[in-house]
Amino acid sequence: MNLLEICIVALAGFCSSVIKTGVGIGAGIFLLPTLSLAFPAKTALGLGAPLMLASDVIGLRYYWKQWVAAGELTRLMAAAFPGLLAGTLLLPVISAEGFRLGVGLFGMAYALSYLFPSSTPVRLLREGLAGVNQRIEGGQIYFYGALGGAATVLAHAGGLVWSLYLTRAVPDRRIFVGTVVLLFFVTNIYKTVAYVATDTLSASALLDIMPAIPAVWVGSAIGNRLNKRMNQELFRRLILGIIFVTSAKLCW
């Protein structure tokens, strides 16, 4: 990895860390398409896990014990592991080009759904999710836990899926972000090992990104301050706009 590539990794890691400790979700969805502009999509996926793990360590310090009750957290984590295994098995099957296009389309859809929540497609999707929630009443934590496990392995999108459960179960902003950071910490340890085992991430790449880690830690500190002080709606819309542009770039 040359100096320019290390700088790109550092900048992407810095920005994703600001997002993670600032708003909780969207960090991985930002990181993957951004890195995919400079690296093959699956390489970008592999690089994302140790980068986010570095920010998780700092994030845990800022949100220590600010998460859901132990019983609920245990159920959510236990539900995530079958999804993690399923995602690991699916990863080698997906082609690099198909993966890149899928990441781009998913990121665009994610950004648009939050930027235009009253649009007809988003409204229909929301109604569909409401129907799903009614049918799995009482089992939502297991459904979204497992689905988030698969999504985080395949696209670093676990935070989005878990938020579909947590936004209803956790009204407090600090508890919401703290829970997501803890989930990321546990799953990113697994993902780093799994990516190395499946040759998605090389051992040498782990060493190459070490110079970028300080930028990740600085981003985590800034994100924590923004969570306490900045207008959350303005910050969220800015991030969603960046996610849309970077994701769209992957589609052509």
DSSP string for residues in 55-71: HHHHHHHHTTT-SS-HH
Alpha carbon distance 15, 12 (integer Å): 5
Q: Indicate if the pLDDT at residue 24 is higher than 90.
A: no
Report, as an integer, the average pLDDT of 48-66: 93
The pLDDT of residue 80 is 96
Whether the Cβ atoms of residue 75 and residue 222 lie closer than 8 Å to each other: no
pLDDT of residue 129: 63
Gap between the Cα atoms of 125 and 131, Å rounded: 10
pLDDT digits over 150-179, tens only? Answer: 989 988 888 878 887 887 787 787 898 899
User: In this structure, are residues 141 and 72 in contact, taking their beta carbons and an 8 Å threshold?
Assistant: yes
Q: Count other Cβ atoms within 10 Å, centred on residue 194.
A: 20
Residue of 170, 167, 169, 183 lying closest to 236 (CA atoms)? 167
Q: Is the distance from CB of 51 to CB of 212 less than 8 angstroms?
A: yes
Backbone torsions φ then ψ of 63, nearest 5 degrees:
-120, 25
Tens of pLDDT along 83-138?
A: 999 999 998 888 767 777 876 787 788 788 878 888 887 787 767 766 666 666 66
Radius of gyration of the chain (CA): 17
Range of the domain at 74: 3-250
- Residue 87: closest CA among 240, 208, 197, 215: 197
Cα distance from N-terminal residue to C-terminal residue, the chain: 25
Residue 110: Cβ-neighbour burial (10 angstroms; 0-12, 13-18, 19+): buried
Query: CA separation (Å) from 42 to 94, 149, 154?
Result: 10, 18, 9
Q: What is the pLDDT of residues 173-196, one digit of tens each?
A: 789 889 989 999 999 999 999 999
How many domains does the chain contain in total?
1
Taking the CB of residue 248, how many other CB atoms lie within 10 A of it? 15
pLDDT at 83: 94
Integer Cα distance of 96 and 43 in angstroms: 9
Q: Considering the chain, what percentage of its residues have pLDDT values greater than 90?
A: 42
pTM for the full predicted model: 0.84
